[in-house]
Amino acid sequence: MNKTIDDNYPEISVRLLKWYDHNRRNLPWRALPGEKSNPYYVLLSEIMLQQTIVATVIPYFLKFIKKWPTINHLAQANFSAISNEWSGLGYYRRAKNLHETAKIISVKYNGCIPDNTSELLTFPGIGNYTAAAITAIAFNSYENVVDGNIERIFSRLYRIENPLELSKDRIKKLAAKHVPNKRNGDYAQALMDLGSKVCISKTPRCKQCPLIFACQVAEKEEASEYPKRLPKKIKNTRYGLFFCLFDDQNSLLFTTNKDKGLLSNMDMIPSKGWYESENRLESSPLNISKKLSFLGLEWRVLPNEVIHTFTHFKLHCTIAYYKIKDKRGIEQLNLDFPFRFVKQIDFKHLALPTLMKKIIKSVNDSKI
């Protein structure tokens, strides 16, 4: 017969830590058993892991620490180099926040990352979860660290029937009861590993779980239904018109986004109709009218759209293209920065979001 959770708060953390000692994941930012964590590695990884899975983050993390081995190196880096290395990781505002945080820590804290949540919370892009995770893992502080994986664990342990969107505060209070007085960093990481390896979303591996003795849905068919969720909202649809302008050397025209908003500081193919709140396109254009035209050129449209999904909307991309035949035609455009032509061989130096990579691939595949 399963023991009750309320009678076994200490036993849950003890069993979980014992399991962790034999089943911990080997991650490049994680300290080896008995060693102290590198606070820079922890901060960098936690910011990269915001809304991004571990497998995706690992190669980016390794690139960053090779190029910028300390937070002072990162603070002194040119942001264009950072955004270029971040390209493809998504949620690009994180890169800017990371750089700003590194500069603050380098100047104000002499390169030493603060060991308390109140100071960490003053840095751009660091919220309650990230601050708690950094202080627990990097400094072994007493913190209640709760992310999506951990919410799933406690929703199952306590069989929480209310949808997750309505029960986050309750889960956080329940989780706080189980935080041990020692090994706080290991405990937080143990919960993360349990959620990643055992108490997984669709097919929980209950027989492998060290907390099966206390879980209220363990080995039950409905276990995969927890946490309960509110019905998904249908994503809005937007329509964008992207202008691929090639010069006489087959270089492609790019611009750089502003230091705010969606895809901030990223290198982009010029576009209309989707980015700003005003003058939104209501559908995908079949041809380019004078009103829609960019630079007054006679654009042609590729037959196939590119569809890209952002967090809050789905974007249908119409791709228009035009090739300039000679240098005189380029000079007549009177283009100023941030517009510039870039050779295909130099695309690797750009900070290209995944959306741009999809569009470039579609253009290359069309062999125009």
Residues assigned a catalytic role: 46
- CA geometry: angle at 8 spanning 4 and 13, to 5°? 130
- C-alpha 99/C-alpha 119 separation (Å) is 17
Question: What burial class does residue 259 get, using C-beta atoms within 10 Å of its C-beta: 0-12 exposed, 13-18 middle, 19+ buried?
Answer: exposed
Q: Which strand (E) or helix (H) includes residue 81? A: helix 79-86
> Residue 204, preceding bond cis, omega within 30 degrees?
no
Q: What's the one-letter identity of residue 67?
A: K
Exposure pattern of 146-181 as b/e (b: 16+ CB <10 Å)?
A: bbebbbbbbbbbbebeeebeebeeebbebbeebbbe
**Sequence-separated (6 or more) residues with CB below 8 Å from residue 311:** 51
DSSP 346: G
- CA geometry: angle at 263 spanning 365 and 323, to 5°? 35
CB 60 within 8 A of CB 48: yes
List, in sequence order, the alpha helices (H) in 87-210: 93-108, 117-120, 128-139, 148-157, 164-176, 184-197
Token pair 């690992």 is found at 58
Picking from 190, 188, 192, the residue whose alpha carbon sits closest to that of residue 149 is 192
CB 362 within 8 A of CB 304: yes
> Residue 227, preceding bond cis, omega within 30 degrees?
yes
Q: Is 352 helix (H, G, I), strand (E, B) or coil?
A: coil
